[in-house]
Structure 1
Amino acid sequence: MGNRLSSLKRRFKPLEGDQLVTQLTPKQLAAHLQPLYTELLSNIGYTSAPSLSDEKASELLAVMHKKAVEYGVPLDSPLSAKGFRLGYSEGAFAYPEHPVEVQAYIGLFTWIVVIIDDITNDIKEDVNQFQQRFFSGEPQTLPVLHAMGELLREAYDHWDPVLANILVTSGLNFVTSNLLETREAFKMMPVTKAGTSFPYYYRDLAGITEAYAIFGYPAAVYPEIHNFLEAIPDMALFINIFNDVVS
């Protein structure tokens, strides 16, 4: 997810000779970016991560671990362990006031999409069948895809049906974007001046940002969707841009 824009830039970069690019050292790059990041965080009012009590931290971890075992996705690989830690942090610190069950859902969703994002090229035949199996109710061929399907269905347990519909669509688009990246025809697709909107279109497919915007409004806390629905597109756009800037 976080590196998706950089891969797009490589894919859609100008031909050699069109422009001169100066290669900066890591220290030079840090010197350029640090004041920009400092100003950015100041402008959005960020101070520090919220605190989490030991009791709630333990409860969240227990709920996530129980569901992970039910999904059958191993936690012992470096990728899975990293994704699980990232998911835990996402649920705990990005949505600190949510009920623990919702935080756990967000954490598990993040864990699974991190794995899918990394391994789709190795399991592309299975991913190619994912959505057809999802809609037909057939079992998935791999635990990680089974987990993704279960999470999409479980969205309706925590969000208004309209929001859950959008969340599910966002998740399915993410899987599609990963699958698209495995296609040789896509990798070799010619770039034309007329396709100026395509990188943004593809970024929307890949970013899952509508899902993460909707994560902020579980039905148990925000039952009236008309109070915030109008903000979802702007939140999704902000998440996309902010993710690209800081990743």
Structure 2
Amino acid sequence: MRSNISGYASVTDCGGCKRQVFNSSCYITSLVDPNSLNSEVHMSMSYLPFAHRFASLAAQTVKRMLGNTLHRNTEPSISETTRSFLQRIRYIPPQTNESRRKELVSALQETLLSWRVLPAANSSSIYSICQHSAAMAELSYPHHDFDTQLQIAKFTWFLIYVDDLSSNMPSALEDFQLKLLRHEAPEDPVLQHFTGHLMDMYRFWDRLPANCITSAALEFITGCALEIHTEIRKIELALSSTSWPYFLRARTGVAPAYAVMIFRTLSGNMSRYMQVIADVCLFIDLTNDVLSFHKEEVAGETRNYIHNRAGVSRKLPTNVLAEVAEEAVAAQNRVTAALRACRSEGIHAWETFVQGYVAFHLTQDRYRLNELLS
């Protein structure tokens, strides 16, 4: 899954075979196809108990070994692109509010426990996701009050949950919007609370910005369902299908929601910032792609925008990474110039968001950027 903030979902099994969103000409698939290995091992050992699991583990092992070997060769290029990106966006580590973040984690946990629908066995994982969600809210939106930050942290928690749910209960995602229109309860009990949470957005933002948040959430659910759908996984893209990678990436990025959350909540002047929302979304998506690429290469993960784009453009992923970094910087510059030109009060919120959003990636261990940049 390619949510900007989650990344907790693992590669999923489909019919006993590990599959990518589509077959690209990336490094790993050009050398050996672990998906084919999975199928062959499964067929030759089908008479043995646990052959299905063994085949899956074998494919993962080969993929991981190849990914690590290839990544050692590309790591200097990735490091150079990442360092250049940070310099060009003029990144300065922002001050953090650790006490506020702890308060957000505590309030978020209290909310989750009050639902009485989450398994106690997953308490450590739930706490970890609470920390992740609180960090996103505290670092990226320091200008908002506590209640608004908590609303953003809850939103992030739900997205991570949906990302994981797509692997375990895809039907719940495919049916979510239909049940919503029919006024029926979602299949998954947590999604019932998500519906209430989206309705609550209108207490924090005016109707049109809140509409952007809720529609982005619905697009995200559809995007997650698309990514894991059997027919989508079988797609073999033509060279002319250059728009497909970003179409899928935009569905699962939730960028419009995080973009409008930057600016004033109630009774804000939309004319001062709505014109830049498209470029804010582009910056959010592409910055995440740049700063997530290292950890995904270490894991041998090729189901991401950069590899998908490399596949249809027949370019090396590291070259696409450099292009994406350039596009993110250009988007940031356009937003900054537009907000300054109209003397928008949103310029400060935008500039603090940029620093906080990047700091979020740099300070979360899961992105493994310390090992890349040290």
Quick check: TM above 0.5?
yes
- In the alignment of these two chains, the number of paired residues is 243
- Determine if contact 2:21/2:232 at 8 Å carries over to the other structure: no
* Equivalent residue in structure 2 for 1:239, among 270, 274, 284: 284
Moved more, 117-126 or 63-72: 63-72
Query: How far apart are 1:75 and its partner, in Å?
Result: 7.4
Match of 1:198 in 2: 244
Distance 2:237 2:115 in 1: 41
Post-superposition CA distance 1:165-222 (Å, at most 9, x none) = 11111100100011112321111123223322111111111111111111112424x6
Residue 270 of structure 2 corresponds to residue 225 of structure 1:
yes
Moved more, 57-66 or 82-91: 57-66
* Equivalent residue in structure 1 for 2:93, among 39, 43, 48: 48
Query: How far apart are 1:68 and its partner, in Å?
Result: 2.2
Match of 1:130 in 2: 176
TM-score by length of 1: 0.85
* Bigger relative contact order, structure 1 or 2 (CA pairs below 8 A, ≥6 apart): 2
- Determine if contact 2:21/2:234 at 8 Å carries over to the other structure: no
Given the superposition, is the C-alpha separation of residues 145 and 246 from structure 1 closer, same or farther in structure 2, using an over 3 Å criterion? same
Residue 13 of structure 2 corresponds to residue 13 of structure 1:
no
Given the superposition, is the C-alpha separation of residues 160 and 60 from structure 1 closer, same or farther in structure 2, using an over 3 Å criterion? same
Distance 1:186 1:99 in 2: 41
Given the superposition, is the C-alpha separation of residues 27 and 181 from structure 1 closer, same or farther in structure 2, using an over 3 Å criterion? closer
* 1:142-221 matches, cutoff 5 A: 142-220=188-266
4+ residue runs over 4 A deviation: 7-10, 18-28
Distance 2:160 2:84 in 1: 29
Structure 2's unaligned 5+ residue stretches are 12-18, 33-65, 293-374
Given the superposition, is the C-alpha separation of residues 73 and 32 from structure 1 closer, same or farther in structure 2, using an over 3 Å criterion? farther
**Paired AA for residue 67 in structure 1:** T
Distance 1:37 1:45 in 2: 12
**Paired AA for residue 232 in structure 1:** I
Distance 1:123 1:167 in 2: 24
Distance 1:216 1:73 in 2: 31
Moved more, 169-178 or 123-132: 123-132
Match of 1:57 in 2: 101
Match of 1:35 in 2: 80
Distance 1:12 1:216 in 2: 37
**Paired AA for residue 217 in structure 2:** G
- Determine if contact 1:80/1:111 at 8 Å carries over to the other structure: no
Moved more, 31-40 or 113-122: 31-40
Larger Rg: 2
Query: How far apart are 1:223 and its partner, in Å?
Result: 1.3
Given the superposition, is the C-alpha separation of residues 136 and 71 from structure 1 closer, same or farther in structure 2, using an over 3 Å criterion? farther
Query: How far apart are 1:58 and its partner, in Å?
Result: 4.3
Distance 1:210 1:223 in 2: 17
What secondary structure sits across from 1:91 in the alignment? helix
**Paired AA for residue 112 in structure 2:** A
What secondary structure sits across from 1:195 in the alignment? coil
Match of 2:137 in 1: 91
**Paired AA for residue 269 in structure 2:** E
TM-score by length of 2: 0.58
Identity of aligned residues (%): 22
Distance 1:197 1:231 in 2: 21
Query: How far apart are 1:26 and its partner, in Å?
Result: 4.6
Query: How far apart are 1:10 and its partner, in Å?
Result: 6.1
